Structures are given as structure tokens and as C-alpha cells.
Amino acid sequence: IPSELGQLSELKTLDLSGNRFSGEIPASLGFLIHLNYLRLSRNVLSGQIPHLVAGLSGLSFLDLSFNNLSGPTPSILAKDYRIVGNAFLCGSASQELCSDATPLRNSSGLAEKDNSKHHSLMLSFAFGIVVASIVSLLFLFFWLLWHRSRSYVQQDYEFEIGHLKRFSFREIQTATSNFSPKNILGQGGFGMVYKGYLPNGTVVAVKRLKDPNYTGEVQFQTEVEMIGLAVHRNLLRLFGFCMTPGERMLVYPYMPNGSVADRLRDSYGEKPSLDWNRRICIALGAARGLVYLHEQCNPKIIHRDVKAANILLDESFEAIVGDFGLAKLLDQRDSHVTTAVRGTIGHIAPEYLSTGQSSEKTDVFGFGILILELVTGHHKMIDQGNGQVRKGMILSWVRTLKAEKRFAEMVDRDLRGEFDDLVLEEVVELALL
């Protein structure tokens, strides 16, 4: 691995896994202070884990598994890390554990000085261990073949994709009380969402995807890993997944304040659930999340359904963009050119609707409609009349009011006039670009 990589000061994601790289891990990687994801697994790297790399406090995930690393394991500051499969690593900076390995090496030298009878005895003992190990491995191999050949009920084994946890179907059943209607959080174009409780007390949201047979297992795992690599403060982080022959489910952290659509629909007392300043902050946060999907992800991710219902709110009412990557996940039966139009009426860009081909412009159009939803309290307007007509009318309605300089009339009445006139005109201009 070239040490020059340490000069890429803005690097955020580095995945060199499975490339049979040899040599030591460059200590210069420890200078990448913006690095968020580092994966060097399944190579033949040797030497010690550099203290500079272990001390990267900004790392969300570090994977050094299945190499030939050795020496004491330093204190690793990454939120999640993997170092399994390195037989020569000692315990965490433990001199005692590392020193225990030294006599083992010396013992072979002493054995060579022993008499031939003792030497033969040792060889016989070693041979017996080898034979026993081979028999055990063969037994394990045939047991696995038998286990896999059994009739399938639901898969209950686990493995991990990067830092994502693979849940068994039984775990999801238990967490959601067997998909109880009481735990339903909502239903969207991609499937039902359930609230779940993990054994450690973590509250999660489980999205049970419709049409699970559209993707094969390998393709699903690949797309899920790509979604999992998208890590940003304004993106909904994928926590794990569940995959069986009849199910495809994604597991996310639970967002306690629901979606922007929920908050626009509900009012509490005299004050709106979302005041003017908070709505502007939500728009900025959603924009940052979309920019990351378009410019920082490789390959780039097009959301294709940007709307208030897909912008979630965390404990601090920070905007969290959800449902990204799902449109592509369910379109794997199509070619590399997406021909199936996915989205919500009133949020679909005209060129996407006419050609079926999406791009960043598709999300820019949806973001403009999101701004108008934040300004107008659009969901309450839908509830007052024919929702299908209202969804299609908001754009032309706002354009008419703008042309007549009647900006104040388009503002959500729940704000009771508490908004900035200058900012209002600027955000409406932005939304209509």
C-alpha cells in the first residue's frame, strides 16, 4: 500500500479489501484526519497496527481482519472495528501476553537438542494432532453440507457485510412482536415500516421491502453494502439487514420525531410543531445530505423520491434523509438504465416522468418541492381537498402567487406571520429555479 495515500488529506472512505496487498500498513494513513471508513481486510499485510491509524478518532469503521498482522494491539478509537483472523496479534497492548509467545519459539530450539527418542515422541504427538485436526475439519465440512441441504424454514444464521449486522428472521420477528400491527410506523412505496426493540434495548425501524424476489442474494448484498457506505450526519445510517429467500428487510435507527410530513401535519397548542427557523435548518440539512449522495458516493446515489415524508427528524430535529438507494435496490430486474419511474405524484421531475431516466436533476426538482412543502405546510392543504389534485397544483399555485408578489399568502398559517420576508422570497426563488 503506497504511503503517499496519507497525503490525500480530504479522503473520507478507503476500501482496499481483498486485493492481496502485502507489506506493512503505512503509518501515514494516520494523517487522514477526515477518514471515516477504512477497510484493509483479506490481504496479506504484516507488521504491527500503526498507533497513528489506531488513534484516528474520526473513524466510524476500521476493518483489518484476515491479514498477517502481529504484535500488541493498540487502543483503537474507531466506533466499530474488526481485527479477527490475525493469528499473531497479542492482547490489547499486553506485554504479558506478547512475552508468552517468546518461550514457544525458544522451545522448538530446545527440542532440537533433545535425544532422538524424545524427538520421535514429539513428532508422533504432533502427527496425531494434525490427523485429529483434519478429521475435525472434515466432520465440520460434511456437517455444514448436511445443514445447508435441509429444507429451509427461515435462516437463523448471521454474518456481516462490512460494519452492517445481518439479522436472522427470528430476531426481526422477536423485535417487532411478529410484525404486530401495533408496531407499524408507516407504509411507503417500498414497503411497511415497523418499530422494533433489540435485546440490548436499542430501538430500531425495520423496513420490510415489497417484492423481495426482484434481487438475488449477491446483488442485494452488494447494493446493501453500497447504502451502508453512505455515512453522513444528514443521512439515515443503515444499521443492518435481513435476507431470506422470501424476505428482504433493512434495519435503521429509530427517529423519535418522525418525519417532516408528520410534523407539518400536526400542530401542538398555539405554537407550530416546526417554527420558521427550524424549517430553514431542515432544508439546509436535507441539501447537505443530497449533496453527499451526489458528489461523495461512488457510484453516486440518486434518491428519486425527495419529499417531506422521506426527511426524518432526530432528537435535535436535525434533518435526516431516508429511503435513499432503495429505488435502485428494487430496480435490479431492469437494465443499467432505469426505466421504471419511482416517486410520488407532484414530486417527480417532468423529464424523469417522460423518459424514465433519473439523474441529480431529479433530486433537485424534488428538493424544490420539499422547500415549498416547508413554506406552505403543504400536507394540511392536501387534507382540505382532493389530495391528488392538490399535489399537482402546488407548483403552479406558488408560481402564480410569486408572479403577483403575494408571498405572504403562500406561508403556512400555523406560523401566524412569524417568518422572515426576505428569506421567504429567497427560498421560494430557489425552489422555483
Q: Which CATH number fits the domain that encloses residue 228?
A: 3.30.200.20
| Residue 300 annotated as binding site | no
Distances (CA, A) of 168 to 237, 240, 248, 392: 20, 10, 11, 42
Residue 44 contacts residue 68 (beta carbons within 8 Å): yes
In terms of domains, do 248 and 266 share one?
no
Q: Is residue 245 part of a domain?
A: yes
Q: Is residue 104 part of a domain?
A: no
**Amino acid letter, residue 175:** A
Q: Is residue 241 part of a domain?
A: yes
In terms of domains, do 62 and 134 share one?
no
Model confidence at 118: pLDDT above 60: no
Percent of the chain scored above 70 by pLDDT?
A: 73
In CATH, what number is assigned to the domain containing residue 305? 1.10.510.10
Distances (CA, A) of 352 to 14, 224, 302: 33, 24, 12
In terms of domains, do 69 and 122 share one?
no
At 37, phi and psi to the nearest 5?
-140, 120
Model confidence at 178: pLDDT above 90: yes
Q: What is the pTM of this model?
A: 0.59
Q: Is residue 107 part of a domain?
A: no
Name the residues annotated as catalytic.
Answer: 305
Average pLDDT for 365-390: 68
Average model confidence (pLDDT) across the chain: 77
In terms of domains, do 245 and 327 share one?
no
pLDDT of residue 119: 56
How many whole angstroms separate alpha carbon 294 and alpha carbon 274? 28
Q: Is residue 123 part of a domain?
A: yes
Three-class SS state of 251: strand
Q: Is residue 108 part of a domain?
A: no
In terms of domains, do 287 and 309 share one?
yes
Domain that includes residue 275, residue range: 260-431
Boundary residue ending a domain (221, 253, 285): 253
Question: Which helix H or strand E contains 38, and what residues bound it?
Answer: strand 37-39
Residue 84 DSSP label: T
In terms of domains, do 237 and 336 share one?
no
In terms of domains, do 405 and 267 share one?
yes
In CATH, what number is assigned to the domain containing residue 39? 3.80.10.10
In terms of domains, do 427 and 290 share one?
yes
In terms of domains, do 295 and 338 share one?
yes
Q: How many domains, in total, are found in the chain?
A: 4
Q: Is residue 287 part of a domain?
A: yes
The alpha carbon torsion through 265, 266, 272, 276 (nearest 10 deg) reads -30
In terms of domains, do 375 and 235 share one?
no
In terms of domains, do 281 and 389 share one?
yes
In terms of domains, do 82 and 40 share one?
yes
Q: Is residue 200 part of a domain?
A: yes
Average pLDDT for 150-162: 44
Model confidence at 240: pLDDT above 50: yes
Query: Predicted confidence band at 93 (pLDDT cuts at 50, 70, 90)?
Result: very low
